[in-house]
């Protein structure tokens, strides 16, 4: 015969683990819900017609908004973001300033992906830049991502291949007036660049996984207390 023996100290420890597991599981669930809401907002924004980007536009309020830019590329200031593979191929992302028509403001545009220059990895691969005034489409981004920087970053100069890029640093190096945001070009301007931009990594699945783990900890702690509380015999002091 089995009887249950209540033990105050193990019960207190179990109760603490259950409360902790449920609380942290709920928190991870809220984080997942918040990021799902962001994902739905981004999907809704991507379905909206592109907005004409004005020089006075607030980049923070336009984050992830589809926009149209009219102006011209500054062909003398191309730079590239290194270590940006695409479909298993090594390559770079070409970034160039785009001067908005009727303004001195420049927007750093991620034009697209290029395969690495096999002849000289320290040189930009060949690419074409449409001349004159044109209208392009893209998505406003607060950053173009950030990769771990090993050692000193390469100095910003025309044709530089760098790991990361900052709008303020680019403005200081180029002497151009640069907006504090970026645009990932999506429309085709006849240059042959690849533009398979990855979707923003929101980490919803990570939070859902952590939520399951914390709930599982709470359940296992409760089950362990119950199972180990039963023992053979009718004498609870045995």
Looking at the fold, whether 101 and 136 belong to one and the same domain comes out as yes
| Average pLDDT of the chain, as a whole number | 85
Looking at the fold, whether 148 and 80 belong to one and the same domain comes out as yes
Whether 30 maps to a domain, the answer reads: yes
Looking at the fold, whether 133 and 214 belong to one and the same domain comes out as no
Is pTM beyond 0.75? Reply is no
Looking at the fold, whether 69 and 169 belong to one and the same domain comes out as yes
Structure confidence by residue, pLDDT tens digits, 142-155? 888 877 766 677 78
Position 238 confidence tier, pLDDT thresholds 50, 70, 90: very low
Question: Tell me, what's the pLDDT at 232?
Answer: 46
Looking at the fold, whether 21 and 85 belong to one and the same domain comes out as no
Structure confidence by residue, pLDDT tens digits, 102-115? 999 999 999 999 98
Residue 24 structural domain: 2-42+203-231
Question: Tell me, what's the pLDDT at 93?
Answer: 93
Q: Summarize the confidence of residues 77-94 as an average pLDDT.
A: 90
Q: Summarize the confidence of residues 225-236 as an average pLDDT.
A: 66
Domains: count for the chain: 2
Position 233 confidence tier, pLDDT thresholds 50, 70, 90: very low
Looking at the fold, whether 210 and 111 belong to one and the same domain comes out as no
Checking if the pLDDT of 44 tops 90, the result is no
| Lowest-confidence region among 65-74, 206-215, 222-231 | 222-231
Whether 55 maps to a domain, the answer reads: no
Whether 7 maps to a domain, the answer reads: yes
Looking at the fold, whether 88 and 26 belong to one and the same domain comes out as no
Question: Tell me, what's the pLDDT at 109?
Answer: 96
Looking at the fold, whether 87 and 120 belong to one and the same domain comes out as yes
d(CA 163, CA 181): 17
Q: Percentage of the chain surpassing pLDDT 70?
A: 90
Looking at the fold, whether 222 and 170 belong to one and the same domain comes out as no
Whether 190 maps to a domain, the answer reads: no
Question: Tell me, what's the pLDDT at 171?
Answer: 95
d(CA 223, CA 228): 8
d(CA 100, CA 70): 6
Whether 208 maps to a domain, the answer reads: yes
Whether 101 maps to a domain, the answer reads: yes
Question: Tell me, what's the pLDDT at 149?
Answer: 67
Whether 49 maps to a domain, the answer reads: no
Looking at the fold, whether 209 and 145 belong to one and the same domain comes out as no
Whether 133 maps to a domain, the answer reads: yes
SS (H, E, C) the chain: CEEECCCHHHHHHHHHHHHHHHHHHHHHHHHHHHHHHHHHHHHHHHCCCCEECCCCCCCCCCCCCEEEEEEEECCCCCEEECCCCECCECEEEEEEEEEECCCCEEEEEEEEEEECCCCCCCCCCCCCCCCCCEEEEEEEECCCCCCCCCCCCCCCCCCCEECCCCHHHHHHHHCCEEEEEEEEECCCCCCCCECCCCCCCCCHHHHHHHHHHHHHHHHHHHHHHHHHHEEECCCCCC
Question: Tell me, what's the pLDDT at 187?
Answer: 74
d(CA 89, CA 143): 23
d(CA 181, CA 124): 23
Q: Summarize the confidence of residues 184-202 as an average pLDDT.
A: 77
Looking at the fold, whether 210 and 169 belong to one and the same domain comes out as no
Looking at the fold, whether 100 and 174 belong to one and the same domain comes out as yes
């Amino acid at each position: 015969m089995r009887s249950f023996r209540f033990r105050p100290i193990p019960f207190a420890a179990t109760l603490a683990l259950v409360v902790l597991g449920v609380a942290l599981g709920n928190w991870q669930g809220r984080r997942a819900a918040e990021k799902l809401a962001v994902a739905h907002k981004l999907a809704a924004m991507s379905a909206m017609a592109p907005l004409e980007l004005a020089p006075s536009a607030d980049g923070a309020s336009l984050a992830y908004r589809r926009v149209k830019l009219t102006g011209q590329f500054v062909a003398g200031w191309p730079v590239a973001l290194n270590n940006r593979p695409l479909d298993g191929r090594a390559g770079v992302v070409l970034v160039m300033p785009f001067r908005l028509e009727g303004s001195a403001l420049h927007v750093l545009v991620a034009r697209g992906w290029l395969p690495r220059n096999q002849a000289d990895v320290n040189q930009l691969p060949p690419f074409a830049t449409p001349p004159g005034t044109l209208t392009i489409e893209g998505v406003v981004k607060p950053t173009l991502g950030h990769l771990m920087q090993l050692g000193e970053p390469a100095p910003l100069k025309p044709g530089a291949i760098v790991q990361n890029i900052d709008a303020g640093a680019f403005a200081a190096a180029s002497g151009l007036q640069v907006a504090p945001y970026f645009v990932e070009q999506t429309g085709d301007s006849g240059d042959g660049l690849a533009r398979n931009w990855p979707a923003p990594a929101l980490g919803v699945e990570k939070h859902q996984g952590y939520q399951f783990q914390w709930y599982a900890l709470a359940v296992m702690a409760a089950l362990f207390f119950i199972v180990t509380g039963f023992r053979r015999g009718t004498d609870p002091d045995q």
